[in-house]
Amino acid sequence: MPARLSVCKGCCCGRVDRGNNPVPYDALKAVWKSKGLDEHVKLSLSGCLGPCSMNNVTLMTHGKERVWLGRLASEDDYFALVNWAEQISAGSPITDLPEQLAGYRFTPA
């Protein structure tokens, strides 16, 4: 069963008109497709995932495991998601985060 990465595109995440950091949704989708990452890590843009105050939020799931990331700020952070997905495609568990992303992990209340 593939992992799934949900990138929040809800009421707050990515909403620059609300003073939040942008999310490079289209670029991310394009890279995902060009690298064929979908086979092992499905990428989906989702509605509000819940913890809006942590924007910008993503959620990686695989079986019963969940890894929440919040306060992603730069385009670089989003492209670190690509590295993470490549690691997962190569057999790493989703809990094995690239260093750049490790500090963004949180547990929702």
The site for ligand FES (CB under 6 A) is made up of 8, 10-13, 48-52, 55, 57
21/48 Cα distance (integer angstroms): 15
> Minimum CB separation from ligand FES for residue 23, in Å?
9
Output 21 or 92, the one with its CB closest to ligand FES.
Answer: 21
**Torsion of Cα atoms, 44 then 63 then 106 then 16, to 10°:** 0
- Write out the two tokens for 87: 């690691």
> Minimum CB separation from ligand FES for residue 58, in Å?
9
9/52 Cα distance (integer angstroms): 11
40/103 Cα distance (integer angstroms): 24
Which amino acid is present at 72? L
Output 22 or 50, the one with its CB closest to ligand FES.
Answer: 50
Output 57 or 94, the one with its CB closest to ligand FES.
Answer: 57
Residue nearest to ligand FES (CB): 10
> Minimum CB separation from ligand FES for residue 47, in Å?
8
